[in-house]
Structure 1
Amino acid sequence: MNWGLVFRAALAVVLLAFLVSPDSFAPLLQPLVKYGAPPIYHQGNLLEITLNHLWITFAATLAATIFAVGLAILVTRPFGAEFLPLSRSIANVGQTIPPVAVLALAIPLLGFGTEPILVALFLYGLLPIFENALAGLANVPRDVEEAARGMGLTPWQRLVQIELPLALPVMLTGIRIAAVISLSTATIGSTVAAKTLGEVIIAGLTTNNTAFVLQGGLIVGACAVLINDGLLALERVLAQRTGRAQRA
C-alpha cells in the first residue's frame, strides 16, 4: 500500500471537511483559546478566503510562467543569446527585493487590494521558473535536435514539437517551486487588504487567539503539501515519458 498517497488523500479530505464545515472542528481548537474567544474564524467564509488565496497564487504563477518561459525561449535562440545576462538580472529582481517592499512600492500606483500582491508574487516567481526553463531548453540532446533538423522541421516546429516537450519536466520543477513559494508568501497580501488566509493569521495575532493562527497556518500548509505533491507526481510522469521518447 502506498502510504504517502493515503496520507495525501486523507489530508485533502480533512482539509475539504474543515473548509466546508469548520464548526465541526471547534472542539479540537477550543483548548487553544482563552476568555471565551471563538475557536473558529467567522469574520469571513473560510472556503471563499481559501479559494481566493489559491486564485491569487495561480494567477501570479501563471503570469510568471508565461513571462519567464518566453524569456528563456528568447535567450536560447541564436538571435537572443546576447540578452542572457540581462534576462538573468530581470529574473533576479524578484528575489532581491523583499515582497513587503514590492507591496509598499506598488500601493501608490495600484492602491490597496489584490493587485499589489499579484505584482509581488509575479516578481518572486520569475527566478525559479526562468532558471529551470533555461536549463531544460539548453539541455535538449543534440542528437534529437539534429534528427529534427534532418526531418526538415522548421525552428518553430522544433521548439513546439521537440524542445518544449523534452524540457517540460524541468520547467515544471521551477513552476512547482514558484507555486509553493507564492502560496506561502500570499499571506502577506492581507496587509494591503487582499483577501487571503493571512487575514485569519493576522486576526489571531492581534487578538492573541492561537486557534486562528493555527487554522490559517494549517490551511496554507495543507494546500502547499497537496500542490507540491501533485505537481511532483506530474513531473515524474512527464520525466518517464520524455525518457522513453529520448530512448526511442
Structure 2
Amino acid sequence: MIARLILAALACLLVAFLLTPQSFAWLFVPLTKNGAPPIYTQTGLLSLTLSHLGLVALASLASTIVAVGLGVLVTRPAGREFLPLARTITSIGQTFPPVAVLALAVPAMGFGAGPTLVALFLYGLLPIFENTLTALQNLPPSVIEAARGMGLTRRQRLLQVELPLALPVILAGVRLSVVISLATATIGSTVAAHTLGEVIIAGLLSANTAFVVQGGLIVGLIAVLIYEGFQQVEKATARRIGQMQQE
C-alpha cells in the first residue's frame, strides 16, 4: 500500500513538472552557474516526453510482434531448425551498440526518428524473444496433454492454452525491453530525433547541470513507473492463470 502511494505521488509530481516546469525552477537554480536558465525551454518538456514515449512505444510494439512471432515459430516442430538463426537475428541489437546502429542507419534513412526506431527495435528483440522461448518451452506437459485430449487443434492450443500460460513470462521480457529502450532512446537526439536526450545534450554542451538532471529525472521516473506498472499486470495475469488452472 505504501509503495503504491509513493508511486502515485511520483506520477503526480512528474505530471505537474511536465505541465508547469517553471514552478519547479527554484529546485534547479542551485545547479546552474552564471545566471544560466534553470529550466530547459528551447522545446517544451511535455512535447519532448510525449515524442520520447511515442518512439519507445512504436519500437517496443514492433519488437514484441517480431520477437514473439519468432519465439512461436522456433517452438513449433516445423520451425525448430530455425532456432540458431532466430537467436542470431535477435542478438544483433545487443551485439552492435545503439550508437553504431544509428551511424549505419543515418546514411540510408537520414536524420530524425527513423534511425532511432531501428536502433530501439533491434535492441529490444532479445529480452522478449528469450522470455517467449523460455515460457513456451517450459509449459506444464499435463496441461498441453489435456488440451490435446480435448481435441484442440495446434492453432487452438497455441492461442487458447500456450500463449495465455506463457503471457506472464513474455510480459516480463517486454518490461525489460521497454525500460532498456526508454534509456537508450535518449541517444536519438544525436541524430535529430525529438527525445529527452535533447535536454541532456543541451546541458552537457552548455555545462548546465540543471538540464542534465531534468532529462535524467524524467526518464528515470517514467522508467520506474512503467516498470512497476508492468509488474502489476504480470502479477494479475499470473493470478488469473493460477485461478484458471485450479478450476
With the shorter chain as reference, the TM-score category is over 0.9
Partner Cα separation in structure 2 for residue 83 and residue 22 of structure 1: 51
CA distance in structure 2 between the partners assigned to 1:73 and 1:161 by the alignment: 14
In structure 1, how many angstroms separate the alpha carbons of the residues matched to 2:235 and 2:160? 20
In 2, the alpha carbon distance for the partners of 1:240 and 1:231 equals 14
Secondary structure of 1:65 counterpart: helix
Amino acid paired to 1:47? L
Output the CA distance in 2 between the equivalents of 1:175 and 1:242: 19
Corresponding residue number in structure 2 for 1:145 = 144
Counterpart-to-counterpart distance in 1, 2:26 and 2:142 = 63
List per-residue Cα deviations over 1:94-138 (Å, max 9, x = no partner).
101000000000001100000101000100001000000011111
> Is 1:20 aligned to residue 32 of structure 2?
no
Deviation at 1:85, TM superposition (A): 1.0
User: How big is the alpha-carbon RMSD for the aligned residues of Structure 1 and Structure 2?
Assistant: 0.7
Give the whole-Å Cα distance in 2 for the aligned partners of 1:102 and 1:66.
21
Q: Distance in 1 between matches of 2:243 and 2:144?
A: 16
- Per-residue deviation, 1:246: 2.5
Query: 1:177-212, CA deviations, whole angstroms, 9 ceiling, x for partnerless residues?
Result: 000000000000000000000000000000010100
Q: How far did residue 157 of structure 1 move?
A: 0.6
The whole-number CA distance in structure 2 between the counterparts of 1:135 and 1:247 is 23
1:54-105 deviation line (CA, Å, top 9, x unaligned): 0101110110000000000000000001111111111111101000000000
Residue in structure 1 matched with residue 244 of structure 2 by the alignment? 245
| TM-score, normalisation: structure 2 | 0.99
Q: Aligned partners of 2:93, 2:27: CA distance in 1, in Å?
A: 39
User: Which amino acid in 1 is paired with 2:18?
Assistant: L
Deviation of 1:245 after TM superposition, in Å, equals: 2.1
Aligned length: 247
The whole-number CA distance in structure 2 between the counterparts of 1:139 and 1:245 is 18
The amino acid that maps onto 2:134 is A
Distance in structure 2 (CA, Å) of the matches to 1:4 and 1:96 = 36
Q: SS of the counterpart of 1:38?
A: coil
| 3-state DSSP of counterpart to 1:152 | coil
Given residue 16 of structure 1, which amino acid in structure 2 is its aligned partner? V
Alpha-carbon distance in structure 2 between the residues aligned to 1:56 and 1:216: 16
Equivalences for residues 1-248 of structure 1 within 5 A: 2-248=1-247
Write the distance in 1 (CA, Å) between the matches of 2:101 and 2:89. Answer: 15
Aligned equivalents of 1:119, 1:246: Cα separation in 2: 40
Partner-residue secondary structure (3-state), 1:92: helix
Q: 1-side partners of 2:207 and 2:3: how far apart?
A: 35
Shift of 1:149: 1.0
Q: What does the per-residue CA deviation read over 1:143-200, in whole Å, with 9 as the maximum and x for residues that have no partner?
A: 1111111111111111000000000000000000000000000000000000000000
Which blocks of at least 5 consecutive residues in structure 1 are unaligned?
A: none
Answer with 173-182 or 24-33: which moved more. 24-33
Give the CA deviation at 1:141: 1.0
Unpaired runs of 5+ in structure 2? none
Give the share of equivalent positions with the same residue, in percent. Answer: 64
Q: Structure 1 stretches (4+) deviating beyond 4 angstroms?
A: none
